[in-house]
Amino acid sequence: MFNLVRMDSQMLIEAFSLARNQSVQACAPLEIEDYNLQAAAFSSPPKWHLAHTSWFFETFILKPLVPNYRVFHETYELLFNSYYNAIGEQYPRPQRGLLSRPAVAEVLSYRKHVDDAMTLLLSQIEQGEWEIAERDTILQRTKLGLEHEKQHQELFYTDIKYSFSINPLYPAYASHEITRTIKPQKLQWQDYSGGLVETGVKEGSEHFYFDNETPSHKVFLQPFALSTRLVTNDEFQKFIDAGGYKKPEYWLSDGWAAVQKNNWTQPLYWRDVRGEAMEFTLYGLRTRQAGQPVCHISGYEADAYANWANARLPTEAEWEFAAKQNPLRGKPLDTLHPSVAQHDNEQELKQLYDSCWQWTASAYRAYPGFQVADGAIGEYNGKFMCNQWVLKGGSCVSSADHLRPSYRNFFYPEDRWQFSGIRLARK
C-alpha cells in the first residue's frame, strides 16, 4: 500500500526524532492561549495536531504490535481519532477547540510517552525477535507515520494562519520574513506535444509514496501548454476590476453558488486598510506585492479566473507530465509566504513546488487498478476519493519530502484556507 523505504534502525530513529521535534518546534512561537485555537470546523487546534500525530503511532504500531505496551490514556483513542471509523468513535471535529483538557503539558507528556516507546521499539527491531512480515509492517507504518506527521506540520501552518486571521489585531506567527522585491514578469507559455504518457508511481520505486499515487498507468494527452509561472496578485486584481466576481458566465454553477453564499469578492486573506492593498500572512498584515503569486483561493475561483483569461486549468496528468520535464530543486527559500525563488528562469516552469499548491481540473478519483489496503489504515486516502479536486506541486509550508510530480493533494473546490494558487493551461 505505502512504499517501504529501506532504512537501518538508527537511520529510522534519527528520522523519527527529527520529524517529531519539528512539530514541537513549530509551536514554539505560540502563546499558551493559541494552542486551542480553532476558528472553523475545517481547521484543528495546534494542541490537537500534537496529540493526533502521537495517537497515530500509538494506534497503528504500539498498541497492535508491541506486547505489554501501556496506553497513556484510554480516552485518547476517542479524543484524537481523526476519521478512522474502523478504530471507533471520534470526538466531533468542529468541537476540537473546546478541549481545554488535556492541558498542553499533558499532551507533551503523551508525545514523550509515545516517542520513548517508539524509539525503544525501533532500537530492537533488528535483534531477530520479530517475524519478517511483522518487522516490515512496523517499519512501513513508522515511515507512513513520519510522512503523516509532516502533512500535519503543513496543516498546522494553514490552520493557525486562519485562526489568527479572524483576530482584528492580526497577530504575527513569525517576525523574520525574508523579503524580496518582486518585479512582475510577462506571462509566458511552455508547449508540450503530449501523446501517450505514464502517470503515477510504479510500485517498488525507491522513494516513499502514498497509495493514492499508484498504480502507474498510461494516459493520452493532446498537445497543450502551461504558463511558466503562477498567476500573480496584480493579474488577479485585474480579474476583480473587470467584474470577475459579479459575472456568472465565468463560473461553474456550484462556484457561482459559493460566491453568493459566502459573499466572496477577493482572495481569502486580502484586506483593504484605509485604501491600501494589504494581505494577511504568517508575518502579520503586510502590503500586498503585485508580483507575488495569488494565494488562498478556491478551485472555483481558479477556474473562473482561467475562463476570464481565455485559458483553463491543467489536468492532473498534464501537470505531472510537464513537472517531470523540470528538475526538482527543492525549497530554496526559508519563508512562510509564497514568493519567487532565486533559481527561477525563463526556460523552466517556475514555482512548481515552493509557492502555492496548484488547482487542477481533475477530480480526485482512484487510478485504474487502485486497491484500498485492508483494515483501518486503508482509510488513509481511499475513502476521500469523492467530490474533491486534485492539487499538484507544493507550497511554501510543505515538507521538502513531499515535493514530487506524483504527489496528489486534494481538497473540496470551495476550500480556500490552504496555500492554493493558479497555473494556467491552454489548447
CATH number of the domain enclosing 128: 1.20.120
Inter-residue contact 258 to 299 (CB < 8 Å): no
Question: Does 356 reside within a domain?
Answer: yes
pTM of the predicted structure, to 2 decimals: 0.95
Find the distance separating the first CA and the last CA of the chain, reported in whole Å: 36
Across all residues in the chain, what is the average pLDDT? 92
Question: Is the separation of the CB atoms in 51 and 58 below 8 Å?
Answer: no
pLDDT recorded at residue 340 = 67
Kindly state whether residues 122 and 264 are assigned to the same domain. no
Residue numbers of the chain with a pLDDT score lower than 50: 1-2, 4, 342-343
Q: Residue 194 falls within a domain, yes or no?
A: yes
Same structural domain, 306 and 387: yes
Same domain, 202 and 161: no
Q: Which one-letter amino acid corresponds to residue 255?
A: G
* CB count in 10 Å sphere of residue 316: 23
Domain boundary among 96, 130, 165: 165
> Which domain does 80 fall in, by range?
9-165
Same-domain check for residues 147 and 261: no
CB count in 10 Å sphere of residue 370: 17
Nearest to 165 by CA among 396, 378, 421, 416: 416
β-pair partners for 232: 293
Q: Is residue 179 part of a domain?
A: no
What pLDDT was estimated at residue 1? 44
Q: Are 75 and 119 in a shared domain?
A: yes
- Determine the residue type at 149: E
The pLDDT assigned to 185 comes to: 79
Are both 158 and 201 inside the same structural domain? Answer: no
- CA dist 228 → 155, 185, 284, 345 (Å): 27, 10, 29, 9
Confidence at residue 252, expressed as pLDDT on a 0 to 100 scale: 98
What CATH code is carried by the domain that includes residue 333?
3.90.1580.10
Domain count, the chain: 2
